[in-house]
Amino acid sequence: MMRKLFLLTCMAAALTLRVAAQEISIAKGWKFAIGDSTQWASPTYNDQNWKPISLAHSWESQGYKGEDGFGWYRLHVVIPSSIKEKAYLKDSVCIYLDAVDDNDEVYLNGKLVAKYGGKGSDIKTGNYGPRSYTIAANNPAILWDKENVLAIRIFDTGGDGGIYGNKFTIGMADLMDPVSINNDAEFSYGDNNSLNKAIKLTTTSNYVYKGKLAFKVTDPENNSVIYDKTNDVQFTAGKPFTYTFNIARLEKRSYRVSYTFTEEKSGKSITKTDGTPYVLTPYPSSKPQINGPDVYGARPGNPFLYLIPAGGKRPLIYAAEGLPDGLKLDVNTGIITGVVNQKGDYPVTLTVKNNLGANTKKFIIKIGDVIGLTPALGWNSWNAFGLSVNDEKVRVAAKTMIEKLSAHGWNFVNIDDGWEAEQRAASGEIVTNQKFPDMKATTDFVHSLGLKMGIYSSPGPRTCGGYLGSWQHEDQDAKTYGDWGIDYLKYDWCSYSEVTAKIPNLDDMKKPYQVMRASLDKIHRDIMFSFCQYGMGDVWKWGAEVGGNSWRSTGDITDTWKSMSDIGFNQIADGPYAQPGHFNDPDMLVVGKVGWGDNQHNTHLTPDEQYTHISLWSLLSSPLLIGCDMGKLDRFTLGLLTNDEVLAIDQDALGKSAKQAIKTDNYQVWIKDLADGGKAVGLFNISDQYQTITLNRDENDLKGLTKIRDVWQQKYLITSGNTYTAKVAPHGVMLVKLSK
């Protein structure tokens, strides 16, 4: 997001321990007021009557329940010049705030010195997160050795708000603060599957950094060192140092790679780590194979669209026996279209052929009241592009889906926030902004490929991104979506708190979804309805009754182990509510190149964490919405997203969520019942060391299930006796299917 006012970033210092004398804590002594006033930035403003506030918790938990919007924090603090003495870089001061919810402006003695979030002059959009602001040590806003007034203006978009966390400091920027080890380049595969990668050491400081770069590859199972190489390096602003390594083919698992730069004068060092990628999904076969769910639901009288997902060498020829009246199949594309008027369950036999053979699959089309019988599989623009999504990016996503993913069942192309205008048309109709010149044309294009189109809105006057919401225009918006041909609506909560009770009760929480449900019911389209209110009011208990096909059960995900694992392994209370047509949504996928804006980076999840992410979300029967730049799918990510046996677990017709069966400090086992009587089991290592995890068939209803299959590698495992034991990598998973 926007970070205009600071010069360099002091993140590294925030994450490493540093000499205490170089910084002071600003964790205590703050005062607080709800509301907004320009005077509150002023050092002479009298805040004597403001209430004290702790930075350990949100403002909600300190007497400001239900307060969203603006709030101010003020602190009187002496900044001693002695903190400069031990610092190598004496020119930059760092203010570190360990999480701001959601956006902020930082004033030092009345002057704006840093800011996060917002469009133009407001700070109403952005993201919760840590802030590390760097300002020049000679900035006249800093009063050295005197009392300073630090005033922070916060805008909370909803839910918890404020400044809260563990570490809050003002200090000199550390020598390593302006240094970064950029390991964002992709691992590439050379001859014989050797792995290559280029690492860059960069700095924004004019200081000339000299020292050593140690490159090390270790086996995480026994910590043995496989490669170890140290190079002399030198770099400064504008003159980075690049190191390229090439390591020979490794086994099918992830190795730990570390890059450590040690500066020679100070002895200080920084380290970055990687995990080597490894592809488990078998190489796709040329023989024809039908993938995708066993059941598909549509409503009578509404337009029907289904692309038969099929792998194998093109061209493929499709056939469908037993299609209900009103449907027709294009035998060359596999797209089924039409309208069925008669309710009922229609068993169909699908066939696909190429010059290497044929494959058939039994499939049931259920024409009735419930759609979305299996969780949605698709792409959503948010985790990749945030508000910078545009028409071209959406078309790239659709084309890529057809080229690389639809054969495995992926079919939704969903535009998140950022497509709407800021003003409605004179008629009150919703209109797009200039990034989407013709939504109908885009939707037609997506449909022509056999794919479906999704869109986003919010029940308040504004979306979370500050664009138009549907407040008091629900009927009109639903009609517009229908005219465009929209198939999926993600409906947020943002700014609805401005128009409902300060502390909404259950009825208040249901209301906006009931209103939009009624509006959607007036148009003749099957539109998947996805609630995005972060789990408020235990939405899983009432989401189905209010007509949701899925509901977010958590806040927003990010691409860290903490975020992904905290969310994924806590899907317990909501589990029993998953059922065909109605699923819990622990938020979208964070694999591939993510970025929430203009710049994308490779996900910060390690390869093993990514296997965990996809396995766990599949076990939970979650909608799988890819959140990456689809134009840049690498081989590893593609392997994660195209494993038909893994996707079959997610798409299982029973629609149940896995249950946590075993939980220890180091590992967890989750078990999901499957429609064929088998069980999908995830053995998850949540620790930092290899773990040996044992599954006992006498426990957890596994009796009689004698066959055991490694789902990622798609092969049966040979086991004897009643137990199955797997060695599982740190933060990794062994996903198996047990059957009779």
Q: Which is nearer to ligand GAL, 263 or 416 (CB)?
A: 416
Q: With respect to ligand GAL, which residue has the nearer C-beta, 446 or 532?
A: 532
Least distance CB 553 / ligand GAL (angstroms): 12
**Per the omega criterion (within 30 degrees of 0), is the bond before 122 cis?**
no
**Contact, 658 vs 672, CB < 8 A?**
yes
Q: What is the DSSP letter of 577?
A: G
Whose tokens are 């052929």? That residue is 353
Residue 226 C-beta-side C-alpha neighbours within 13 Å: 19
To ligand GAL, the closest distance from the beta carbon of 541 in angstroms equals 20
User: How many Å apart are CA 630 and CA 415, to the nearest integer?
Assistant: 13
With respect to ligand GAL, which residue has the nearer C-beta, 420 or 608?
420
Distance, CA of 516 to CA of 418 (rounded, Å): 20
Give 590 or 695: the residue with its C-beta nearer to ligand GAL. 590
Q: How far is the CB of 400 from ligand GAL (least distance, A)?
A: 21
Active site residues: 492, 556
Determine the Cα angle at 539 with ends 535 and 545, to 5°.
155
Q: Pick the closer one to ligand GAL by CB: 203 or 600.
A: 600
* Pick 279 or 387: Cβ nearer ligand GAL: 387
Q: Considering the complex, what minimum distance in angstroms separates the CB of residue 125 from ligand GAL?
A: 7
Give the DSSP per-residue string, 18-32: --GGGEEE--S--EE
Q: Are 293 and 580 in contact (CB under 8 A)?
A: no
Contact residues for ligand GAL, defined by CB under 6 A: 382, 416-417, 456, 463-465, 492, 494, 532, 556
- Distance between CA atoms of residues 584 and 573, nearest Å: 10
Tokens of residue 339, six digits: 């309208």
Run of H or E residues at 718: none
- Least distance between ligand GAL and beta carbon 685 (Å): 28
Q: Of 683, 679, 689, which Cα lies nearest the Cα of 663?
A: 683
End-to-end, the C-alpha distance of the chain in Å comes to 52
Query: In a 3-state reduction of DSSP, which class is residue 624?
Result: strand
Sheet holding 225-235, edge to edge: 225-235, 209-218, 256-263, 269-275
Q: How far is the CB of 416 from ligand GAL (least distance, A)?
A: 5
Q: Which helix (H) or strand (E) holds 459?
A: none
Q: What are phi and psi of 261, to 5 degrees?
A: -100, 130
Q: Tokens 């000679």 — which residue? A: 138
Min dist. Cβ of residue 445 to ligand GAL (A): 23
We find the least distance from the C-beta atom of residue 9 to ligand GAL, in angstroms, to be: 24
Beta partners for 315?
A: none
Provide the 3-class DSSP secondary structure of residue 256. strand
Nearer to ligand GAL, 306 or 385 (CB): 385
CB 603, min distance to ligand GAL, A: 16
Largest CA-CA distance found in the chain, in angstroms, rounded: 84
Nearer to ligand GAL, 5 or 536 (CB): 536
Closest by Cα among 190, 253, 184 to 218: 253
Local structure of residue 402 (DSSP, 8 states): I
Q: How far is the CB of 127 from ligand GAL (least distance, A)?
A: 9
The H-or-E segment that residue 325 falls in is none
Considering the complex, state which of residue 160 and residue 556 has its C-beta at the smaller distance from ligand GAL. 556
Tell me whether residue 1 or residue 112 sits nearer to ligand GAL (CB atom). 1
Nearer to ligand GAL, 324 or 548 (CB): 548
For residues 115 and 117, what is the distance between their CA atoms, to the nearest angstrom?
7
Pairing of strands 129-136, 92-101: antiparallel
Q: What is the dihedral sign for C-alpha 609, 614, 619, 623?
A: positive
Which amino acid belongs to residue 182? N
For residue 78, give the H/E element and its range: strand 69-78
CB of 699 to ligand GAL, least distance (A): 38
- Where on the phi/psi map is residue 449: left (φ > 0), alpha (ψ -120 to 50), or beta? alpha
Query: Mapping DSSP to helix (H, G, I), strand (E, B) and coil, where does residue 486 land?
Result: coil
| Residue count of the chain | 740
As a whole number of angstroms, the distance between CA 324 and CA 315 comes to: 26
Categorise residue 303: left if φ over 0, alpha if ψ from -120 to 50, beta otherwise: beta
DSSP 560-571: SHHHHHHHHTT-
Distance from C-alpha of 201 to C-alpha of 236, rounded to nearest angstrom: 9
Helix (H, G, I), strand (E, B) or coil at 255: coil
Rounded to 5°, the CA angle 207-211-217 comes to: 130
In the bound complex, what is the minimum distance in angstroms from residue 568's beta carbon to ligand GAL?
Answer: 16
- Residue where the block lists tokens 């086991």: 719
Q: Which is nearer to ligand GAL, 255 or 412 (CB)?
A: 412
CA atoms within 13 A on the CB side of 454: 25
Beta carbon nearer to ligand GAL, 459 or 730: 459
Min. distance of Cβ 567 from ligand GAL in angstroms? 12
* CB 435 within 8 Å of CB 391: yes
